[in-house]
Amino acid sequence: MINLKLIFRVLGFLVLVEGLAMLLALLVSIIYKEDDLNAFFIISSGCIVLGLAVVFFTRKSSKKIGKREGFTIVSLVWIVFSIFGSLPYMINGYIPDFTNAFFETMSGFTTTGSSILRDIEALPHGILFWRSISQWLGGMGIIVLSLAVLPIFGIGGMQLYAAEVPGPAPDKISPKIKQTAKMLWGIYLILTVSEAILLWVGGMSFFDSICHSFTTMATGGFSTKQASIAHWDSPFIHYVIIIFMFLAGTNFSLTFSALNGKFIRVFKDEEFKYYISFIGIFTLIIFAGLLISQLYGVEKSFRDALFQVVSIITTTGYVTADYLLWHPFLTILIFSLFFFGGSAGSTGGGIKIMRIVILLKNSYYELKRMIHPHAVIPVRFNNHSVDSKIVTNVLAFFILYFLIFIVGSVIFTIMEPDMPSAMGAVATCLGNIGPGLGNVGPVENFYHIAPAGKWFLSGLMLLGRLELLTVLVLFSPSFWKE
Amino acid sequence: MKVVIAGAGEVGTHLAKMLSKEDHDIVLMDDNPDKLASISSEVDLLTITGSAHSFEDLKETGLAKADLFIAVTPYEERNVLACSMAKFLGVERTIARINNSEYLQERYRIKLDRMGINELIYPESLAAKEIVASIKQTGTRQLIEFSNGKLLLLGVKIRENAPILNKTLAELSYIDEGILAVAINRGGETIIPHGKDYILNGDIVFFITTRASQQKVFELTGKKQFGIKNIMIIGGSRIAQKTIEKLGDQYRIKVIENDRECCEKLADRFKNALIINGDGRNLELLKEEGLENMDAFIAVTGNSETNILGCHLAKSLGVKRSIAEVENLAFMDTAENMDIGSIINKKLIAASYIYRFTLNAEIANVKCLTASEAEVFEFIVKPNAKITEKQIKDLDLPEETKIGGYIRGEQGYVADGSTQIEAGDRVAVFTLPSGIKKLEKFFK
């Protein structure tokens, strides 16, 4: 039934890709002449050799990737990537034990951004670069990258693409998947380079601006500084990052339209309207709250409110202010944003705006249906009625999401006996955000969590990144039956 | 090449599948999202829900940058209108599926072209052509003529009485140089054979030959040619009508049709056929009308099962030639193994007809071999094409293709390893779908 040889072959190719990506980090450590050079040299060459060997030995496997293989490959690749990706941290003792290194890497590839590091600035540049690039690769998707560059994905690409980009509207912007993947990565690259230049102009060092543009565009949130973006006290840098976080949380096919001059399409898009409205409303309330509590000046209140709202709603997770110090009303507002997420087809995680809107509309129409029991009231989105299958899928997703959040929090309190911290940690990992509440808040880190808790959270990150169903389907009995 | 297909019916989806395998950018539109959902999860293409005759929806498909627009919805007037609109929106070339032979007439072509409809396709008419060809050529499963019969392709089922049974192709070429086996359909699989391959019992072998050696093929395969006079057709469908029209006066034709009104229309239109009102599934009726004495039996009702059963019955009663229209693609393989004679599928015929418009090289003819994946192309060789550089055996042609023969001047020749193709030749080439792209390079 399930074609193991083929799965190994594809994974072999992907390990090869990871090895090549590590060469970039190797390049950085060569430039800075630091002691992480040997680690990157050994591991990237190891990955390349292993990848080539696996590809060579499985060359006779069939090429047709079915649904089962698709789901398995996509779920496994994040785990395999995290295992190999954690080796550079371990080899020179920057993160000596495997649990922490794996957590950090999984947090990287899933673009969560939760960290166990207590002194980020002490790390060599190569390691910092690897942290950032792991987020960048994970942001647009490892499979999507491979679709664009590896011919092996020719036939089964569809299944992989659907499994990795599961959202309610996997918009293709070109008839061919390969072309779509190339365009998406093209836009991603353009935005990343633009941001890096702007940050550099704004006064960040060249290295920091590249690392931060990687992690912004991926809505990742790893910073090269312990204090995250708060390290820079420059409004310009803050606003640039806000803009690019916003773009990263926007549907990339809309960005594509905008780059082609079709602005009307962008502003007509319903999800985009809601995305802006949610950001606007939350920013205004928090801005007002901060003004009333008189913590900062007017401009800084506005900037901090906007930054935190955009950072959390797009699931980036950068911080410029510790929202735990704010009035609990504002903190709980921020926490509620943990359950929004970016737009469908963006690099953002979470539940996603489109699902929220469909759910809200469906619930509202349910009221209408009570009064007019015979009325035919479809859920409309972007002026088209949404297929009832999609509505069911969204409902199932939402229920599973909250079930996992609640059960996860209950389980997690065993390891972390503090309710806000437990809930914050579970919500932040499931939503691929980064900072949580309590002792995993924006200025804290995840170092003190028990090893079992770290593995648990790593699992949640993977679940969240692949939007639950892709991973959960592997555990359903019907998946394994003939 | 970017191709927009309107209508996700069987022709549309079959075309989309065929074309997307070859690196074309396919956009498939239909107004029924359910039809699109199933194909978009299987095939790498872009689907758009929308109506073929809405400017907005057509624009959505990115027509302005497309090379080819194919309208194959079930409605003729919609297809014609859609093509006209698509042309207006800037597509390079349009093809409309029609159900009316009037449009095919030469004198209206310019008018239609001016309306933006470049090519027309009438699947029923194409199917009727195939039927007539196989009635006129007995003993074979399929007959394709190249350049008015200068070169012939014969598809023959090999049975135990065939003298070439269990011989290799190399031996065959000793016997007669004018015959070349170019494709073998064995147990549902198509092989492009080479010198060491054997011809086995039950194979359908496709030979390329000239008129002069044609008789030899029948001898070698143990087939006797026989004259056909009495033909029974069940079903008065459009294919049947076209067939009767093309068959002409030299046959005695009986048509059995269930629908009274349709019968009256047929009787009014065709003086050369006897129209019988009755159910084609009614055994007694068929026997009563002398099924045993028929030379050929053509089943073209709208129902594939009826057609298969009818032909099976006809064969078992000793009718020598039977042709069934099987529209259900899933049945094709099974039907082929049921010993019911020739099978035609108008969708496949239509799809291969349209297919040639997507190729860059100059092509005179594309046909799909019945019940097999292989296709045959008639290329017109351009000066400086790669194929003219060397002898065939030195060309390094892909495994899955084979050059059958060529027509030079007024004469057809069967190809062998030492053949040198020249510019201006028309070359018949056989290939599996995977070889088409590779083949194209040789003719550019």
- Summarize pLDDT for B96-126 with one digit per residue, the tens: 998 877 888 888 888 888 888 888 888 888 8
> Which of chain A's residues have a Cβ under 8 Å away from the Cβ of B46?
172, 174-175
Map residue A150 onto helix, strand or coil: coil
B402 and B300 fall within a common domain: no
Task: Using a CB–CB cutoff of 8 Å, tell me whether A177 touches chain B.
Answer: yes
- Among B267, B297, B319, give the residue marking a domain's end: B319
Mean pLDDT across the stretch A353-366? 91
Q: What is the pLDDT of residues B269-305, one digit of tens each?
A: 888 888 888 888 888 888 888 888 888 899 998 888 8
Q: Using CA atoms, how far apart are residues A115 and A118, in angstroms rounded to an integer?
A: 8
Q: How far is A196 from chain B (nearest CA, A)?
A: 34
| Confidence label for B74 from pLDDT (cuts 50, 70 and 90) | confident
The pLDDT score that the predictor gives to residue B38 is 80
Task: Using a CB–CB cutoff of 8 Å, tell me whether B65 touches chain A.
Answer: no
The pLDDT score that the predictor gives to residue A157 is 65
Where b means 16+ CB within 10 Å and e means fewer, A245-282 reads bbbbbbbbbbbbbbeeeeeeebeebbbbebbeebbeeb
Q: Measured between CB atoms, which of B33, B41, B46 is closest to A175?
A: B46
Q: Residue B334 pLDDT more than 80? A: no
The pLDDT score that the predictor gives to residue A338 is 92
Inside any domain, residue B335: no
CATH number at B363 reads 3.30.70.1450
Report the number of distinct structural domains present in chain B: 3
Q: How far is A274 from chain B (nearest CA, A)?
A: 24
Q: How far is A482 from chain B (nearest CA, A)?
A: 20
Task: Using a CB–CB cutoff of 8 Å, tell me whether A157 touches chain B.
Answer: yes
CATH number at B313 reads 3.40.50.720
Taking CA atoms, what residue in A is nearest to B1?
Answer: A175
Sign of the Cα pseudo-torsion (A245, A250, A253, A255, in order): negative
| Confidence label for A154 from pLDDT (cuts 50, 70 and 90) | low
B298 and B387 fall within a common domain: no
Inside any domain, residue B134: no
B27–A157: do the CB atoms touch at under 8 Å?
Answer: no
> How many residue pairs from chains A and B have C-beta atoms closer than 8 A?
24
Q: How far is B60 from chain A (nearest CA, A)?
A: 11
Q: How far is A157 from chain B (nearest CA, A)?
A: 8
Taking CA atoms, what residue in A is nearest to B49?
Answer: A384
B42–A175: do the CB atoms touch at under 8 Å?
Answer: no
> Which of chain A's residues have a Cβ under 8 Å away from the Cβ of B44?
157-158, 175-177
| Confidence label for A1 from pLDDT (cuts 50, 70 and 90) | low
| Confidence label for A151 from pLDDT (cuts 50, 70 and 90) | low
Inside any domain, residue B178: no
Q: Using CA atoms, how far apart are residues B19 and B24, in angstroms rounded to an integer?
A: 6
Inside any domain, residue B201: no
Task: Using a CB–CB cutoff of 8 Å, tell me whether A387 touches chain B.
Answer: yes
Task: Using a CB–CB cutoff of 8 Å, tell me whether B44 touches chain A.
Answer: yes
Q: Residue B318 pLDDT more than 90? A: no
Domain ranges, ordered by start, for chain A? 4-220
Share above pLDDT 90 across residues of chain B, in percent, rounded to a whole number: 5
Residue of A63, A174, A256, A265 to mutate, testing the B interface (most B Cβ within 10 Å of its Cβ):
A174
B25–A176: do the CB atoms touch at under 8 Å?
Answer: yes
Task: Using a CB–CB cutoff of 8 Å, tell me whether A174 touches chain B.
Answer: yes
Q: What is the pLDDT of residues B247-279, one digit of tens each?
A: 888 888 889 988 888 888 888 888 888 888 888
A177–B43: do the CB atoms touch at under 8 Å?
Answer: no
Domain around B27 = 2-121
- Among B70, B87, B121, give the residue marking a domain's end: B121
Q: What is the pLDDT of residues A200-238, one digit of tens each?
A: 999 899 999 999 999 999 998 899 988 889 888 889 999
Q: Using CA atoms, how far apart are residues A358 and A424, in angstroms rounded to an integer?
A: 25
Q: What is the pLDDT of residues A450-475, one digit of tens each?
A: 899 999 999 999 999 888 888 888 88
> Which of chain A's residues have a Cβ under 8 Å away from the Cβ of B23?
176
Inside any domain, residue B220: no
Taking CA atoms, what residue in B is nearest to A174?
Answer: B46
B44–A387: do the CB atoms touch at under 8 Å?
Answer: no
B297 and B401 fall within a common domain: no
> Which of chain B's residues have a Cβ under 8 Å away from the Cβ of A70?
none
Inside any domain, residue B90: yes
> Which of chain B's residues have a Cβ under 8 Å away from the Cβ of A387?
33
The pLDDT score that the predictor gives to residue A155 is 53
Inside any domain, residue B45: yes
ipTM value greater than 0.85: no
Mean pLDDT across the stretch B6-29? 84
Q: Using CA atoms, how far apart are residues B376 and B428, in angstroms rounded to an integer?
A: 7
Inside any domain, residue B340: no
Q: Measured between CB atoms, which of A158, A177, A387 is closest to B33?
A: A387
> Which of chain B's residues have a Cβ under 8 Å away from the Cβ of A176?
23, 25, 44-45
Q: Using CA atoms, how far apart are residues A391 and B319, in angstroms rounded to an integer?
A: 57
Whole-structure pTM over 0.80, yes or no? no
Q: Residue A149 pLDDT more than 70? A: no
Q: Residue A408 pLDDT more than 90? A: yes
Report in angstroms the alpha-carbon separations of B271 from A161, B233, B248: 60, 15, 10
Task: Using a CB–CB cutoff of 8 Å, tell me whether B200 touches chain A.
Answer: no
B311 and B364 fall within a common domain: no
A175–B33: do the CB atoms touch at under 8 Å?
Answer: no
Q: Are strands B204-209 and B179-186 parallel, antiparallel or unpaired?
A: antiparallel
Q: Is A84 within 8 Å of A47 (Cβ atoms)? A: yes
Identify the burial level of A225 via C-beta atoms within 10 angstroms of its C-beta, where 0-12 means exposed, 13-18 middle and 19 or more buried: middle
> Which of chain B's residues have a Cβ under 8 Å away from the Cβ of A253?
none
Identify the burial level of A457 via C-beta atoms within 10 angstroms of its C-beta, where 0-12 means exposed, 13-18 middle and 19 or more buried: buried
> Which of chain A's residues have a Cβ under 8 Å away from the Cβ of B26?
175
| Confidence label for B362 from pLDDT (cuts 50, 70 and 90) | low
Q: What is the mean pLDDT of chain A?
A: 87
Give me the DSSP letters along B356-408.
GGG-SS-EEEEEEPTTSS-EEEEEEPPTT-GGGSSBGGGS---TTEEEEEEEE
